[in-house]
């Protein structure tokens, strides 16, 4: 993969995650229903949203780190063994920082 394509892909994913995080945070700020039965459903929904929010924040951090590695010209090198990460692995996980051997 060409670095420019990877950068573009990462920036698109970053924007999507930022929008998702913002929408979840806005939903949390809206407040809740006065109806007890609706509060129960909202509480369950909040648990799911909280997990989605948490995962989005983690993925956003990984993308930011990958973009920094691109800027530092270290993208595609394993942070564990400093060997080149396979292009197939980077195509699936463009923000990964480890080769398959170090990831195990």
Length of the chain measured in residues: 104
Supply the pLDDT for residue 30: 76
d(CA 84, CA 1): 13
Provide the whole-model pTM.
Answer: 0.81
Q: Inter-axis angle of helices 36-71 and 3-29, to 10 degrees?
A: 150
8 A C-beta contact, residue 51 and residue 1: no
Residue 13 buriedness (CB in 10 A; 0-12 / 13-18 / 19+): middle
pLDDT along the chain (104 residues), means of 10: 89 97 88 64 81 96 97 95 95 94 93
């Amino acid at each position: 993969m060409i670095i420019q394509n990877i950068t573009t892909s990462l920036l698109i994913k970053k924007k999507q995650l930022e929008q998702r995080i913002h929408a979840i945070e806005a939903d949390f700020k809206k407040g809740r229903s006065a109806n007890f039965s609706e509060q129960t459903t909202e509480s369950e929904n909040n648990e799911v949203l909280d997990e989605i929010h948490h995962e989005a924040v983690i993925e956003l951090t990984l993308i930011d780190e990958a973009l920094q590695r691109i800027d530092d010209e270290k993208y595609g090198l394993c942070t564990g063994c400093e060997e080149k990460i396979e292009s197939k692995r980077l195509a699936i996980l463009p923000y990964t920082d480890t080769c398959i051997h170090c990831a195990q």
